[in-house]
Amino acid sequence: MSRTVSGNPEGFKLSPHCPKVSPGGDRSASVRDMSELLTTERHDQVMVVHLDDGKANALSFAMIGGIMAALAEAENDDEIGAVVLHGREGKFSAGFDLSVMMADNLSATINLVADGGELVRTIYGCSVPVVAACTGHALAAGALILLGSDVRIGAADVPAKIGLNEVAIKMVLPDWALTIAHVRLSNRHKQRAIMNARVTGPADAVDVGFLDEVVPAGELLDRAITAAAHLASTLDPRAYRGSVQAFRGETLTTMDAHIATARASVR
């Protein structure tokens, strides 16, 4: 059954890494009706989070907050064993909200990027596995969400662009982003993916390290749910949580420090 995520849904605790209100910038968007941005539904042990802002699925303050709330709900529900993040047709996420990134408000920009870091960090450190169903374009912060996810499945027959294009658009990747990129990208492709802002299609994105597999677009959501259900049914929840800390703990701690430093720069 589908339902919307709105703010902090009643009956669960927010993750300690879930951003509430960041200092600086206009955060009025964070109280928008989340039904305009995402909906969730359950398939047995799998929570599916459908991202759809009607445009490019930009990571605004509101979109980030909605995804974080859904992840926190999943983590606090013993009946949920995995999460699927599913984009809209042709677009997974084209990155941060340009209305904030291009505005003359440095504080808001820094806080939006830090919130994005919290999101990627939370996905990578989530106590349940996260499967990304990459429906199309995944650029910049959209590609970083892929890097944070356990399993990344793309649409093979969609003319999508996937990659970290920051250097090409006059940006330097933040430290937390470089950290997750170093961990998840193929060693053979790191230099071109980061320094040369190389963007590829879905098939080549598997080799680079943004995706794990590709399937026809019409099969994508079902394949992602099947993959998530397999993880939910075969992985021991306690062992998975412990392994997240043991295997990813150092990376998560480093990302936390980078995000905190960024936030402190605008206080």
Which residue range is the domain that position 197 belongs to? 2-264
In sequence order, the β-bridge partners of residue 43 are 46
Q: In what order do the strands lie in the sheet with 38-43?
A: 2-4, 38-43, 46-51, 82-86, 130-134, 151-155, 213-215
What interhelical angle do 106-124 and 61-75 show, nearest 10?
20
Which residues, including other chains, have CB under 8 Å from residue 213's CB and lie 6 or more apart?
153, 154, 206
Q: How far are the Cα atoms of 76, 85, 109, 116, 153 from residue 11, in angstroms, in the given order? A: 9, 22, 32, 25, 31
| Spatial contact of 41 and 3, defined as CB atoms under 8 Å apart | yes
Q: Which of 157, 113, 129 is nearest to 225 (CA)?
A: 129
pLDDT (tens, 9 = 90+) of the chain, 267 residues, equals 344 333 333 222 333 334 343 434 443 344 345 668 999 999 999 999 999 999 999 999 999 999 999 999 999 999 999 999 999 999 999 999 999 999 999 999 999 999 999 999 999 999 999 999 999 999 999 999 999 999 999 999 999 999 999 999 999 999 999 999 999 999 999 999 999 999 999 999 999 999 999 999 999 999 999 999 999 999 999 999 999 999 999 999 999 999 999 999 987
| Spatial contact of 134 and 201, defined as CB atoms under 8 Å apart | no
Which residues, including other chains, have CB under 8 Å from residue 249's CB and lie 6 or more apart?
none
Q: Look at residue 196 and give its three-state secondary structure.
A: coil
CA–CA dist 243, 262 (Å, integer): 28
Q: Note the pTM of the prediction, 2 decimals.
A: 0.89
107 CB-contact burial (10 Å; exposed 0-12 / middle 13-18 / buried 19+): middle
CA–CA dist 127, 229 (Å, integer): 15
Domain total of the chain: 1
CA–CA dist 122, 252 (Å, integer): 9
User: Residues in the chain, how many?
Assistant: 267
pLDDT score at 19: 39
CA–CA dist 20, 176 (Å, integer): 19
CA–CA dist 115, 95 (Å, integer): 12
| Spatial contact of 252 and 125, defined as CB atoms under 8 Å apart | yes
pLDDT score at 65: 97
Q: CATH no. for residue 19?
A: 3.90.226.10
